[in-house]
């Protein structure tokens, strides 16, 4: 090991397990400076007049950073926490601690890659290298059977070839200890107020009490696989609407990088070996592959996912009074109980089922004819598990300007409500004022 000092810049990789930048830094340097920056740009308004990060995700992020700091302290180190722009903060820290090199994980969305570029330029002036790693996907892009530019725009074609010809690397070992500079300054976790964000009280109807951090993420993974065997019936229950057990609910921890997708994959493989494989165990891996796919699509098509015409370049039709319709949609005041219930859940908890997301998105774009990017931006503010690729990729898919090979995909809301909420339990949970109505009456209101 050299006498080098390496700064490890954490972003959406808030864990010590399966973390290549952390392990390699401990192997190549005598001293590590782990850093997390709360970038003020993440807590401002967007061009859509929405908040870039709402209260629920802010709370989850604060808890996740606190957990990472605690993990480092148990290993004999610490996490240096700052509020500021990384391209200004990171070079200052490098000067203070005589850093030789900076490690970080590469991102795929335009704003995140821009911050990387700005930081790289600032470090270059100090003759310090920013080393990029890839650590957010199941499959490493170097192991794909095609270059990024040639990835099929249809998921099924991508999946079949990747499953047949690519490998998933083993998880990376977790370091036992970490040595930080003796004079590393003490830092504290900011409050949501420090970041200019208001935190709403948690609603008791939430599917889960989402708590940020690697510790909680690994606990949830253990619960869903080993403690309850819920994985055995995931494919049968995944379209549920009420409670914590109808789906894995791992997405929030994946988004913040508290859980590694590879760690989940290998845990499922271990589970299959010990307790049996079936369609459900495969289906959770299938969902992880969708997550990979949207990240690779962002790498291929870049900022086109944020445009109204997507990468297909054709804008969907919009209504003349779309602003008024959008306000009703986001406030859960459309008059359609199934749509309104889902939007109430999102607004009050920061979460919505996959089935709900597809329905409210389809309704906004296809029925109300509102600009789909407004809906995507609203989800960006509200969702605990928001990440750019999955969110904007899925919205573009529903809007017909992304990766959907079918023309004019449409969700029949009355049928969806009957199929997935036949007893109207979900609608009555979130719209208690409709509690006296019979299920058939509620279904007629769709």
**Angle, CA 283 vertex, CA 381 and CA 18 arms, to 5°:** 70
Other Cβ atoms closer than 10 A to 160 = 11
Task: Confirm whether residue 214 is marked as ligand binding.
Answer: no
Task: Confirm whether residue 247 is marked as ligand binding.
Answer: yes
Task: Confirm whether residue 294 is marked as ligand binding.
Answer: yes
Task: Confirm whether residue 254 is marked as ligand binding.
Answer: no
Task: Confirm whether residue 209 is marked as ligand binding.
Answer: no
Tokens standing for residue 12:
């959406």
Task: Confirm whether residue 293 is marked as ligand binding.
Answer: yes
Helix (H, G, I), strand (E, B) or coil at 52: coil
Task: Confirm whether residue 158 is marked as ligand binding.
Answer: no
User: Up-side HSE of residue 78: CA atoms within 13 Å toward CB?
Assistant: 13
Is 408:398 a contact under the CB 8 Å cutoff?
no
Task: Confirm whether residue 235 is marked as ligand binding.
Answer: no
**Angle, CA 405 vertex, CA 404 and CA 408 arms, to 5°:** 75
Task: Confirm whether residue 157 is marked as ligand binding.
Answer: no
Tokens standing for residue 327:
């306000």
Strand 129-133's sheet: what is its strand order? Answer: 80-83, 31-38, 5-10, 101-105, 129-133
Q: What are phi and psi of 199, to 5 degrees?
A: -105, 125
Closest-CA residue to 24 (of 130, 114, 126, 103)? 103
Q: Residue 326: enclosing H or E segment and its boundaries?
A: helix 322-330
- In angstroms, the CA 379 to CA 428 distance is 23
- Would you list the DSSP string of 257-321? TSS-HHHHHHHHHHHHHHH---HHHHHHHHHHHHHHHHHHHHHHHGGGGGSTTTTTT-PPP--TT
Task: Confirm whether residue 110 is marked as ligand binding.
Answer: no
Is 62:107 a contact under the CB 8 Å cutoff?
no
Task: Confirm whether residue 166 is marked as ligand binding.
Answer: no
Q: Residue 86: enclosing H or E segment and its boundaries?
A: helix 86-96
- In angstroms, the CA 26 to CA 30 distance is 7
Closest-CA residue to 27 (of 131, 130, 175, 128)? 175
What end-to-end distance do the CA atoms of the chain give, in Å?
Answer: 66
- In angstroms, the CA 354 to CA 286 distance is 14
Task: Confirm whether residue 287 is marked as ligand binding.
Answer: yes
Is 380:373 a contact under the CB 8 Å cutoff?
no
Residue stretches of the annotated binding site for FAD: 234, 247-251, 287-294
Please state the residue numbers annotated as binding site: 234, 247-251, 287-294
């Amino acid at each position: 090991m050299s006498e080098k000092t390496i700064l490890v810049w954490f972003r959406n990789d808030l864990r010590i397990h399966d973390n290549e930048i952390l392990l390699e830094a401990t192997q190549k340097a005598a001293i590590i400076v782990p850093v997390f920056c709360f970038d003020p740009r993440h807590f401002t308004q967007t061009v859509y007049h929405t908040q870039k990060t709402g209260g629920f995700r802010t709370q989850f992020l604060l808890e996740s950073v606190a957990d990472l700091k605690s993990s480092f302290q148990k290993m004999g180190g610490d996490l240096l926490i700052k509020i500021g722009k990384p391209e200004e903060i990171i070079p200052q820290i490098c000067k203070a601690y005589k850093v030789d090199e900076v490690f970080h994980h590469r991102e795929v969305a335009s704003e995140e890659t821009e911050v990387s570029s700005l930081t790289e330029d600032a470090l270059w002036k100090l003759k310090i290298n920013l080393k990029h790693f890839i650590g957010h996907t199941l499959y490493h892009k170097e192991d794909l059977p095609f270059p990024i530019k040639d990835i099929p725009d249809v998921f099924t074609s991508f999946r079949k070839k990747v499953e047949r010809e690519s490998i998933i690397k083993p998880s990376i070992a977790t370091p036992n200890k970490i040595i930080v500079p003796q004079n590393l300054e003490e830092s504290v976790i900011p409050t949501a107020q420090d970041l200019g964000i208001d935190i709403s009280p948690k609603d008791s109807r939430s599917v889960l009490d989402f708590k940020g951090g690697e510790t909680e993420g690994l606990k949830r993974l253990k619960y869903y696989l080993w403690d309850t065997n819920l994985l055995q019936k995931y494919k049968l229950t995944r379209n549920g609407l009420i409670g914590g057990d109808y789906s894995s609910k791992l997405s929030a921890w994946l988004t913040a990088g508290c859980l590694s997708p590879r760690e989940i994959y290998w845990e499922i493989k271990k589970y299959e070996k010990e307790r049996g494989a079936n369609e459900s165990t495969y289906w959770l891996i299938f969902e992880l592959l969708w997550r990979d796919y949207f990240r690779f699509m962002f790498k291929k098509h870049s900022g086109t996912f944020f445009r109204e015409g997507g990468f297909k370049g054709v804008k969907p039709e919009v209504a003349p009074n779309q602003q008024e319709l959008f306000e009703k949609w986001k406030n859960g005041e459309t008059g359609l109980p199934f749509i309104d219930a889902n939007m109430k859940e999102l607004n009050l908890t920061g979460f919505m089922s996959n089935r709900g997301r597809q329905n409210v998105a389809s309704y906004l774009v296809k029925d109300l004819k509102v600009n789909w990017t407004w809906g995507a931006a609203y989800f960006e503010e509200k969702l605990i598990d928001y990440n750019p690729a999955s969110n904007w990729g899925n919205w573009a898919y529903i809007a017909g300007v992304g990766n959907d090979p079918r023309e004019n995909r449409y969700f029949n809301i009355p049928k969806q409500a009957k199929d997935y909420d036949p007893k109207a339990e979900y609608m009555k949970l979130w719209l208690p004022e409709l509690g006296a109505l019979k299920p058939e009456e509620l279904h007629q209101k769709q």
